[in-house]
Amino acid sequence: MPDSLAEARERLARANRLIANEGVLDAFGHVSMRHPTDPTRYLLSRSRGPELVQADDILEFDLESQPLKPPTARLYSERVIHGEIYKARPDVNAICHHHASSVLPFCISGTELKPVYHLGAAMGETVPFWDSRDEFGDTNLLVTKAAEGASLARALGPHWTVLMRHHGATVVGRTLEEVAFRAIYTVRNAALQIHAHLLGNVAPLTREETRLAADHNLGHGPVMRAWEYWNMRLDKAESRMPRARRPDIESRSRTRAAGHTIGRGRKK
């Protein structure tokens, strides 16, 4: 984990933009990370499109998902997703909630999402399915109450990805880089699974293949190789933005360089 709160804010802001640049997030969805020095807090942006998030947008929350300082801007209504999962999973240090178009068919149909290629193993051996109606009946499908967030956390259990009926998915990881890896490759796996269905029978990885592939792909080397590549793609995308919208170049370089020294996260 990063040493300073300022560095953590910069890295988290960049992770929001990076995951959006890879097509997982659009105007909606959000990425959080556990506070670098206080596991009873987490960091999350104010309510803003992920592709626009800057370090100054990042706020501190307790595990009840209450801001540490009185907010001066609108907050994400679904921040309880993050607080309740951090409560339930001390091994989780980063969370991404998204509504990627390749994953939504599985949320709508109830079809099981399975790893179908080696990088797809990052989703984990099992992807549970959470239906809010089981406990809360008909709702607007947003997860805005602590009880709803706690229910989602229970459905996630010890796994790394959970599908949400007619809504999207929530992905967790031990580090910010890992959650980006899991989220991006789960979305790509979902697209490949749909395409493969058009050709006929889909043969997913076996449980042991999934475990072995995930153990390899989620090692520090592969994760940071992908993180470096996605950072380069983000740099190119942001260099084409109007100058007034570009993130600070010096801060961006510091954040990227810091990412190369990050290990697998704090042990709990």
| Residues labelled catalytic | 78
Whole-angstrom distance, CA of residue 168 vs CA of residue 78: 12
- Ramachandran assignment for 200, one of left (phi > 0), alpha (psi -120 to 50 degrees), beta (any other): left
Of 114, 125, 137, give the one whose Cα is nearest residue 208.
125
172 bridge partner residues: 95
Distance separating alpha carbons of residues 200 and 234, to the nearest angstrom: 36
CA atoms within 13 A of residue 96's CA, in its CB half-sphere = 34
Cβ proximity of 8 and 2 under 8 Å: yes
